[in-house]
Amino acid sequence: MNLGGYSMALRPVSRMLSAVLALLMLVGMAIMGAVRAEAAFTFAAAGDFNQTSDTAASLATAASGNDFFLALGDLSYGTVGAEGVWCDFVKSYVGSSYPFELISGNHDADNADGFIRNFTACLPDHMGSTGDYGVEYYFDYQGLIRVIMIAPNLTIDGVNYEYLQGNSHYNWLSSKIDQARAQGIKWVVVGMHKNCITMGIKSCEIGSDLMNLLISKRVDLVLQGHDHVYQRSKQLTCATEGSYSATCVADDGADNAYTQGAGTVLVVAGMVGTGLYTIDTGDSEAGYFAKWMGDNINPTHGYVKFAVSQNQISAQFVRSSGGTFSDSFTITSSGGNPPDTIPPAVVTTLRPLTTP
Ligand SMILES: [Fe+2]
């Protein structure tokens, strides 16, 4: 009887303990959620630098708070042999050990206005990259992001970097995207110099095979330069060169908020320091874009800052000089694991682009 009384007396206590434990667990989960929502790190990206007062204005803040900077090609617009002058110019702002990560533009390729191998000698890799730094490489950071940098439609050291379905460059890129997903790396970003769809003056120089691969793999962010403008796309499940197909749009981005995995967001950011190009709002591909800036529309120089956490990439156009353009958007995790395979239905909706 005594034992029974003892047991009866314990029940309310154990219920109370259970309730306290449950409450503690809830508080813990809320705290963890809040921590996960905070940015783990921030990086920046843009291309088309030159060595102007506008370039300097961007470089002055480029390293501030950004763990690394993705330089999307077209570096000095100078001469072969004088790359060190440009590197010194950059380092005078960001410091000599800052990860200012390079990829070649057309002005840095063979027979151009500076050579990528000379730039990479004076601004070397600081991210422990794998592959051919400046040309075709990748690195992972904090287990949260894989950054893959490629130089499509450029010739470097006599090698043509074309990403055609089934060729070695295409297969390398495809496998590095798949590998990141398989390893549970949350975000995959692919950076390059040249464009495909754009409202600027360029055409689909990277080719349809590469554009379709990036979209079909649901690369979270594709970063480009080359067109000296800023454009942020809608979230796309396909893209047709030279025409707009509304069925390609997973999220129009009008609320500046995308959900990870629904499609790919393209950012063209060729506006650091060289002369801007005009935006054609009547362009046949204009329907793919949510936001734009150019020489004829609030011309503003700067770069894009990306705050990355497990749950979100939050992007912001950072104005350095010129006009007053601004933009910001988020890509937020849908909550589950990142997609590791392409839904078959998506592949069948892809429309081939014509290769120029
Ligand atoms: Fe350029």
Q: How does pLDDT run across 122-137, given as a tens digit for each residue?
A: 999 999 999 999 999 9
Q: Is the pLDDT of residue 336 over 60?
A: no
Report the predicted TM-score, pTM, of the whole model to 2 decimal places. 0.86
Q: Is the pLDDT of residue 89 over 90?
A: yes
Going from the Cα of 227 to the center of ligand 1, the distance in angstroms, rounded, reads 7
Going from the Cα of 74 to the center of ligand 1, the distance in angstroms, rounded, reads 5
Going from the Cα of 62 to the center of ligand 1, the distance in angstroms, rounded, reads 19
Going from the Cα of 164 to the center of ligand 1, the distance in angstroms, rounded, reads 24
Non-local (6+) Cβ contacts of 167 within 8 A are none
For residue 342, the model assigns a pLDDT of 44
Non-local (6+) Cβ contacts of 260 within 8 A are 187, 220, 331, 332, 333, 334, 338
**SS3 for 213?**
helix
Going from the Cα of 247 to the center of ligand 1, the distance in angstroms, rounded, reads 31
For residue 11, what pLDDT band results from cuts at 50, 70 and 90?
low
Specify the number of domains making up the chain.
Answer: 1
**Percentage of the chain surpassing pLDDT 70?**
83
Going from the Cα of 124 to the center of ligand 1, the distance in angstroms, rounded, reads 21
Going from the Cα of 30 to the center of ligand 1, the distance in angstroms, rounded, reads 46
Q: Is the pLDDT of residue 189 over 70?
A: yes
Q: Is residue 354 part of a domain?
A: no
Q: Is residue 175 part of a domain?
A: yes
Q: Is the pLDDT of residue 285 over 60?
A: yes
Going from the Cα of 339 to the center of ligand 1, the distance in angstroms, rounded, reads 34
Going from the Cα of 284 to the center of ligand 1, the distance in angstroms, rounded, reads 22
* 329's tokens: 């958007």
CA 81 to chain centre: 31
- Strands 221-224 and 265-269, how do they pair? parallel
Mean predicted lDDT score pLDDT of the chain = 90
Residue identified by tokens 């060190």 is 84
- Strands 100-102 and 68-71, how do they pair? parallel
User: What does the alpha-carbon distance between residue 218 and residue 337 come to, in Å, rounded to a whole number?
Assistant: 13
116-123 long-range contacts, CB within 8 A, separation 24+:
116/151, 116/156, 117/156, 117/157, 118/80, 118/81, 118/83, 118/84, 119/75, 119/76, 119/83, 119/86, 119/87, 121/83, 122/83, 122/84, 122/87, 122/88, 123/71, 123/87, 123/90, 123/91
For residue 12, the model assigns a pLDDT of 55
Q: Is residue 24 part of a domain?
A: no
DSSP bridge pairs for 147:
139, 189
Going from the Cα of 206 to the center of ligand 1, the distance in angstroms, rounded, reads 15
Q: Is residue 150 part of a domain?
A: yes
User: What does the alpha-carbon distance between residue 236 and residue 257 come to, in Å, rounded to a whole number?
Assistant: 13
Q: Is residue 14 part of a domain?
A: no
For every residue of 74-124, DSSP letters joined together read ----S-TT-HHHHHHHHHHHH-SSS-EEEB--GGGSTTSSS-HHHHHHHS-
Structural domain harbouring 265: 40-349
Going from the Cα of 170 to the center of ligand 1, the distance in angstroms, rounded, reads 24
Quick: pLDDT tens for 28-83. 555 444 444 467 999 999 999 999 999 999 999 999 999 999 999 999 999 999 99
Residue range 329-352: mean pLDDT, rounded: 57
Among 113, 115, 92, smallest CA distance to 102 is for 115
For residue 31, the model assigns a pLDDT of 46
Residue range 213-232: mean pLDDT, rounded: 98
CA 157 to chain centre: 26
Q: Is residue 222 part of a domain?
A: yes
User: What does the alpha-carbon distance between residue 195 and residue 201 come to, in Å, rounded to a whole number?
Assistant: 10
CATH number for the domain spanning 180: value is: 3.60.21.10
Q: Is residue 296 part of a domain?
A: yes
How far is residue 178 from each of residues 132, 237, 356, measured CA to CA in Å? 19, 17, 28
Going from the Cα of 52 to the center of ligand 1, the distance in angstroms, rounded, reads 14
Q: What share of the chain is helix, strand, coil (3-state, %, to 5)?
A: 30, 25, 45
Going from the Cα of 309 to the center of ligand 1, the distance in angstroms, rounded, reads 31
Going from the Cα of 185 to the center of ligand 1, the distance in angstroms, rounded, reads 31
Going from the Cα of 12 to the center of ligand 1, the distance in angstroms, rounded, reads 73
For residue 39, the model assigns a pLDDT of 75
Residue identified by tokens 């005594």 is 2
Total count of residues recorded for the chain: 356
Q: Is residue 133 part of a domain?
A: yes
Non-local (6+) Cβ contacts of 130 within 8 A are 137, 138, 139
* 237's tokens: 């499940």
Going from the Cα of 105 to the center of ligand 1, the distance in angstroms, rounded, reads 7
For residue 34, the model assigns a pLDDT of 44
Going from the Cα of 276 to the center of ligand 1, the distance in angstroms, rounded, reads 9
